[in-house]
Amino acid sequence: MAYSTKVIDHYENPRNVGSLPKNDPNVGTGLVGAPECGDVMKLQVKVNPDTGVIDDAKFKTFGCGSAIASSSLATEWLKGKTVDEALAIKNTDIVTELSLPPVKIHCSVLAEDAIKAAISDYKKKQQTTVTAGAEEKARPSA
């Protein structure tokens, strides 16, 4: 199977590898896997609380070159986008950009699922933070 030059570039020079502090209320973490091939992808986003824009994105992926390239590309695309704009990233966009062969399309699906999971985790943390703040204000002072 021939990989595109973009897949090879992202595989050999992955962008944004690493982790963000998962307990940070402004960090959302998505962990997804594809049992059919054994790929596992962790993708994280850090959202600026003042602007709602994704300031940083990191990934760690165990898998083939296409899975690593898909996650690397996704983190590049996420930076500078709002949460809603991030949710608009589709696997077909990744397939097109990387020229993934049909047998590797599941890698792009994994990346889209990881983005959705990370954003979902971030939103859940925001609801918890708001609820905790409201409970704190509702407590009578001693």
Location of structure tokens 């999971």: 117
| Dihedral sign of CA atoms 96, 28, 123, 41 in order | positive
The segments of the chain whose pLDDT lies below 70 read 1, 35-36, 130-142
Q: 39: helix, coil or strand?
A: strand
The pLDDT value given to residue 130: 65
Q: What is the CB neighbour count within 10 angstroms for residue 98?
A: 25
Helix (H) or strand (E) holding 62: strand 54-62
The pLDDT value given to residue 128: 80
Which residues are designated catalytic? 37, 107
Q: In the structure encoding, which two tokens stand for residue 133, read together?
A: 């703040």
The answer to whether residues 98 and 66 touch, using CB atoms and an 8 Å cutoff, is yes
